[in-house]
């Protein structure tokens, strides 16, 4: 139960896994939420890190309006894929015959290579082929908290470099919905252990797709420890795997969760998603 409001809850929040993720029923995201409901949703979000709103039927404008309640809505800094007509900040993930969607089957936190990466991502499932294209999430608070004190103390002092190199390489594949990326910005340096701006909890903030190395170590020295941290983070007990239904809207907290798009389908199994992001603070 969420203890932040004494008023009876108008929504129902049901946990989906032991470590993170909850389903929120009783909300229609086409209408403005109102202060009280928004407060309830935010409390659930900070507790569960990933929220699932099933059976939504929303337009791009609704998704933008919903996302804006969590921070300024931002486009992708590198424009790696098409936006929705009239809504360039709504990114289209489209897998269809002849044009496979570009892959996201790696653990990552969205756009962590930016100086101020997005706090929140919102992903809406418009077309789903049942049974495939799940998205997995893992809890990076827990990944940190479960380390030994000695390891935590060492990681607390480190920073890491995050680069968009892998994204640019991925998008060189022309037979996909990805657009070419012509310029790679210099890497950003972020703390390895990040203090969440709202909850004040510490979370591991490194990911296999964008983090290249610890800034204070060589790449070779960094790799084994990073691999260990990723393996800890992604162990089954620390993961929620979402099996999509059309109309699901998911939101997740990039400051304390990683995600992974399972690539177990091909271009004959249509999948169309819309993604928005709400901007956040510089990691500290």
Site of interaction with Mn ion (CB under 5 A):
110
- Order of all β-strands in the sheet with 188-191: 188-191, 159-162, 211-214
Q: Which residues contact ligand OGA by CB under 6 A?
A: 93, 104, 110, 121, 123, 135, 259, 261, 273, 275
Q: Which of 53, 57, 52, 103 is nearest to 242 (CA)?
A: 52
Spatial contact of 253 and 49, defined as CB atoms under 8 Å apart: yes
Q: Distance (Å, rounded) from C-alpha 99 to C-alpha 92? A: 13
> Count of CB atoms within 10 A of residue 133's CB?
23
Residue 69 C-beta: closest distance to Mn ion, Å: 20
Token code pair at residue 163: 């680069």
Residue 177 touches which of ligand OGA, Mn ion, none (CB < 5 to 8 A by kind)? none
Closest chain position to Mn ion (CB): 110
Q: In the complex with Mn ion, which residue's Cβ is closer, 23 or 81?
A: 81
Q: Alpha helix (H) ranges present in 49-98?
A: 60-68
Residue 74 touches which of Mn ion, ligand OGA, none (Cβ within 5-8 Å per kind)? none
Work out how close the CB of 233 gets to ligand OGA at its nearest, in angstroms, rounded to a whole number.
Answer: 16
Answer with the entry of ligand OGA, Mn ion, none that 92 interacts with (C-beta below 5 to 8 A by kind): none
Minimum distance, C-beta of residue 107 to ligand OGA, in the bound complex (Å): 10
Query: What is the rounded CA–CA span in Å between residue 255 and residue 237?
Result: 20
- Strand-pair partners of 92: 274
Residues with catalytic annotation?
108, 110, 259, 275
Smallest separation (angstroms) from Mn ion to the CB of 277: 9
Q: Select 63 or 222, whichever has its Cβ closest to ligand OGA.
A: 63
């Amino acid at each position: 139960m969420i203890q932040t409001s004494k008023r009876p809850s108008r929504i129902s929040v049901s946990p989906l896994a032991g470590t993170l993720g909850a389903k929120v029923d009783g909300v229609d995201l086409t209408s403005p939420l109102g202060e009280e409901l928004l407060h309830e949703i935010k409390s659930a979000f900070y507790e569960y890190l990933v929220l699932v709103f099933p059976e939504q039927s929303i337009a791009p404008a609704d998704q933008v309006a919903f996302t804006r309640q969590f921070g300024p809505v931002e486009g992708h800094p590198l424009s790696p894929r098409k936006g929705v007509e009239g809504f360039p900040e709504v990114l289209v993930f489209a897998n269809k015959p002849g044009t496979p969607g570009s892959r996201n089957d790696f653990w990552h936190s969205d756009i962590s290579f930016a100086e101020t990466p997005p706090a929140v991502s919102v992903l809406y499932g418009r077309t789903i082929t049942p049974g495939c294209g799940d998205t997995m999430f893992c809890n990076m608070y827990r990944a940190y908290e479960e380390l030994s004190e000695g390891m935590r103390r060492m990681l607390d002092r480190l920073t890491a470099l995050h680069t968009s190199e892998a994204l640019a390489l991925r998008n060189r594949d022309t037979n996909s919905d990805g657009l070419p990326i012509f310029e790679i910005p210099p890497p950003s340096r972020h703390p390895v252990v990040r203090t969440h701006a709202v909850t004040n909890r510490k979370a591991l903030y490194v990911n296999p797709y964008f983090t290249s190395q610890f800034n204070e170590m060589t790449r070779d020295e960094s790799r084994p420890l990073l691999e260990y941290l990723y393996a800890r983070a992604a162990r089954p007990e620390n993961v929620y795997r979402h099996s999509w239904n059309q109309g699901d809207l998911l939101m997740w907290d990039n400051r304390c969760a990683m995600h992974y798009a399972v690539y177990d389908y091909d271009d004959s199994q249509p999948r169309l998603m819309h993604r928005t992001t709400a901007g956040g603070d510089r990691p500290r």
